[in-house]
Amino acid sequence: MRERSPRRPSLARPMAVLLLLLPLPALAFDLNDLQAQLGQTKAIEGQFEQQRYLADLDTSLDSRGHFTYRRGERVVWVLEAPVKDRLVFTPDSASVIDESANASNDRRRDQVAALFLRLLGGDWQALAERFEIAIDGDVDDWRVTLTPKSAALRERITGIELQGGRYLEFLTLHAANDDVLEVRLFDQHPLSDSNAD
């Protein structure tokens, strides 16, 4: 862009405004953009495939099913194979994980559930409290990397990666004990308010 000339303001200013309004590929795609993009969809439903690698046993646990997600409210995670089950995560509790234990009192488990919800929702402000967050890529193919800030959290999680385009498509969580959780979300489509549950 050319330097503004005091002698010819009438032309320079509208040009500058115009330039700012254009979506420039040269401008980085940042976390705010991504949050805005993800936030456009209030509710989603889709399929998932999950693979949990257990380093200790050098083996993997695979599962699949479908899910519905309502932004800021809850995720319903319906396992279809190898076992059938229905899990509900809300910001307050992961109450259905385990009815027999006093679930509402287990702060640790609530935190994992809350983390899962924030990852799905791209709630970077909240995540930034505990993680260094880096983003690269563009609007159609982005990748976000989260690294724990505190030593205490690093003892449990070494890093988290998110990838996607219009929606979040891959979530990879590296645990400190070398276990890896990989979740692939596919066949996703927005859900209207009426049939969202």
Partner 1 sequence: MPTESHERHSRALAWSWGLVLLLSALATTWLLRDGLPTDTRLTAMLPEDRQAPLIERADARLSTSFENRFVVLLTAPDLRGATRALAERLSSAGGASPLLSRLIWRDVDLAEADPREALGAYRYRLLTPALQQTIDAYGGASLVAPALRSLFSPAGQPQLVADPFGLLGRWLAARDASPVEAHDGLLTVTDDGQRYALLIGELADGPYSLPAQQALTTAIEDFQQAHPDAGLLRSGLIFHAAAGAEQAKREISTIGLGALIGLVIILLVVFRSPRVLAQMLLPLGCGLLLALPLTLALFGQLHVLTLAFGASLIGIAIDYALHLQCERAVAGSRFRLRPLLPGLALALVSSLLAYLAQALTPLPGLRQMATFAALGLLGAWLTVVLWLPRLVAPAHPATARIAERLWRISMPRRRLSPSVALLGAGLLAALAAWQLTANDSLRLLNPSSPAMLAEERQVQRLMGSDTGSRYLLVSAADEPALLSRLAEIGDTLDRWIAEGVELRYTNLADSVPPPAVQQANLARVERLYSEPLSELVARAGLPDSVIERARSRIEDVPILDVATWLGSAIGEADRRLWLGKIDAAQADMPGNMAAVMPLSGVESAALERRLTAFAERHANVVYVNRVERLSSLLGELREHIALWLGMALAGMAIVLAWRYRGLAWRVLVPPTGAVLIVLAIFGVIGVPLNVFSQLGMLLVLGIGLDAGIFSVEHARRPSTWLAISLSTLTSLLAFGLLAFSATPALHHLGLTCLLGLAAVWLLVPWVRPTHVGS
Q: Could you say whether residue 155 binds partner 1 (CB under 8 A)? A: yes
Q: Could you say whether residue 130 binds partner 1 (CB under 8 A)? A: yes
Which residue in 38, 46, 50, 121 binds partner 1 (CB under 8 A)?
A: 50
* Interface segment toward partner 1; rule CB under 8 A; list 15-23, 24-32, 47-55, 135-143: 47-55
2: closest CA among 22, 16, 18, 14? 16
Quote the least distance from Cβ 192 to partner 1, whole Å: 25
* Total residues found in the chain within this entry: 197
* Interface segment toward partner 1; rule CB under 8 A; list 3-11, 19-27, 56-64, 160-168: 56-64
| 46: β partners | 67
Phi-psi region of 183 (alpha: psi -120 to 50; beta: other; left: phi over 0): beta
Q: Could you say whether residue 188 binds partner 1 (CB under 8 A)? A: no
Which residues contact residue 121 at a Cβ distance below 8 angstroms, ignoring those fewer than 6 apart?
Answer: 38, 39, 71, 72
Residue 42 exposure: Cα atoms within 13 Å on the Cβ side: 7
* Rounded Cα distance, 94 and 84, in Å: 17
Q: Could you say whether residue 109 binds partner 1 (CB under 8 A)? A: yes
* Positions in the binding site for partner 1 (CB under 8 A): 50, 52, 54, 56-57, 59, 61, 63, 77, 79, 82-83, 85, 87, 89, 91-94, 97-116, 126, 129-130, 150, 152-153, 155-156, 171, 175, 181, 183
